[in-house]
Amino acid sequence: MSNKMVAMILAGGKGTRLKALTAKVAKPAVSYGGKYRIIDFPLSNCANSGIRDVGVLTQYESSELNQYVGNGEKWGLNGVRSSAVVLSPKQTEEGSSWYRGTADAIYENLDWLERMDPDYVLILSGDHIYSCTYNEMLKKHIDSKADCTISVFPVPWEEASRFGILVTDKKDNIVQFQEKPKKPISNLASMGIYIFNYKILRDYLIADAKTDSDHDFGKNIIPNMMKDHRKMVAYTYHGYWKDVGTVSSLHQANMDLLKNGANGLDIYSIFGPNKILSEDMHSTPQFIGPKAEVKDSLINQGAQIFGKVNHCVVSDDVVVEEGAVCINDVLMPGAVIRKGAKVENAIIGPNTLIEENAEVNLEHDDIELVVNRKAARL
């Protein structure tokens, strides 16, 4: 990119709606798609966009996430002219405190941004599934002479109240913003992807830090810029995008991988500009036993399948024993399904054991989540 843009990925959320999956691990470090973690997506998108400097802001249960991000090598962000830096809450003479909100997280790291000296800052969420580059969004930001550009995604009207909602005119200027409205007047949802002119953002963050606000982009920074009649522009994204904030949405995002590109996400092509990179360094191939039945499923390297697997996403080091049946499931790394067990409509957490002849099956539309049963290997 001719104009320097750095990215800041907000990856410190607690993820309480993912229940036990995030009890000891940050939400962006949760497994997805058999071979990925959620954080792989924004980091890969940055690398594919030619963004060379990325700050990853971590906080809650961050040890595993910090280790996974490392120096950015997995995404090619560890070169002489590139970097991926983990930015955790600072320890000061007054002690340490967690980030007070999304805007405060960026404010507390203005010193790092000052050293980067960017023209533009890209703010991203660390817990969304989508594959794209940000080049077109930046071009629109520059061409429209915007102070802030927000990426938006049309959502079903019945879901609009879950999001920050934007109202635009015919030229994509943002004329109204509603933060999770009870009665939305638009279905253009903010994706939590923002491009700011850095110096303007810095001024608003410094001003916000002096108030007793929520220190949040959706609740404070964006509304304050709207009040000041700043140039605010919407960029409409047309690809696949999923907010995986709940157990059911995480399950659905995995199932979307089985749609072969029809309203799903094709991330398994190793070619093209939007490839998703991960740690995926498993050298052992999948093993499908002679009596196994596998249908409409993704089976990652290192998995051993001896039973029946139908419409499932299966991660590395998973074992499905002979006589076990798995239907419409997400089996995370290291899960073991013993013989005679039947698992349907479920997410089985990492290294979790489903005992012999056990049944995991909800009869309604919800998704069962099973974790924290230590699995012994075959």
| Per-residue pLDDT, 318 | 96
Residue 204, Ramachandran bin (φ over 0: left; ψ between -120 and 50: alpha; else beta): alpha
Lowest-confidence pick of 62-71, 118-127, 226-235: 62-71
**What is residue 167's predicted lDDT score, i.e. its pLDDT?**
94
CA torsion, ordered 6, 51, 132, 276, to nearest 10 deg: -120
Predicted confidence band of residue 323 (pLDDT cuts 50, 70, 90): very high
pLDDT at residue 273 is higher than 80: no
Say how far apart CA 363 and CA 371 lie, in whole Å: 19
Tens of pLDDT along 136-174? Answer: 999 999 999 999 999 999 999 998 998 889 999 999 999
| Dihedral sign, Cα of residue 95, residue 96, residue 100, residue 105 | positive
pLDDT tens string 87-143:
877 655 454 567 888 999 999 999 999 999 999 999 999 889 999 999 999 999 999
Confidence of residue 265 (pLDDT cuts 50, 70, 90): confident
Q: Is the pLDDT of residue 364 over 70?
A: no
Overall average pLDDT of the 5-30 stretch: 83
Q: Which residues on neighbouring strands pair with residue 168, listed in sequence order?
A: 174
Q: For position 68, what pLDDT does the model report?
A: 86
pLDDT of residue 12: 74
Average pLDDT for 204-226: 95
Is 311 exposed, middle or buried (CB count within 10 Å of its CB: 0-12, 13-18, 19+)?
middle
Q: How many Å apart are CA 318 and CA 331, to the nearest integer?
A: 7
What rounded mean pLDDT belongs to the chain? 88
CB 194 within 8 A of CB 174: no
**119 DSSP 8-state letter:** S
Domain 287-370: which CATH number of 2.160.10.10, 3.40.50.300, 1.10.510.10, 3.40.50.10190: 2.160.10.10
* DSSP codes joined into one string, 213-246: S---IIIIIHHHHHHTT--EEEEE--S-EEE--S
| 3-class SS of residue 249 | helix
- pLDDT tops 90 at residue 197: yes
Q: Are 347 and 335 in contact (CB under 8 A)?
A: no
Per-residue pLDDT at 2: 44
State whether the Cα torsion 312-316-318-319 is positive or negative: positive
H/E element, 348: strand 342-348
Sheet with 319-320, strands from edge to edge, namely 287-288, 304-305, 319-320, 336-337, 353-354
Q: Where in the chain is the domain with CATH 2.160.10.10?
A: 287-370
Q: Which CATH class is domain 5-259?
A: alpha beta
List where CATH 3.90.550.10 sits in the chain. Answer: 5-259
- Residue 60 predicted with pLDDT over 90: no
Q: What tokens appear for 52 in the block?
A: 């060379």
- Choice between 19 and 372, residue whose per-residue pLDDT is larger: 19
Query: E-strand spans in 28-96?
Result: 31-32, 36-37, 53-57, 83-87, 91-92, 95-96
CA gyration radius, the chain: 22
**Nearest-angstrom CA–CA distance, 249 and 255:** 10
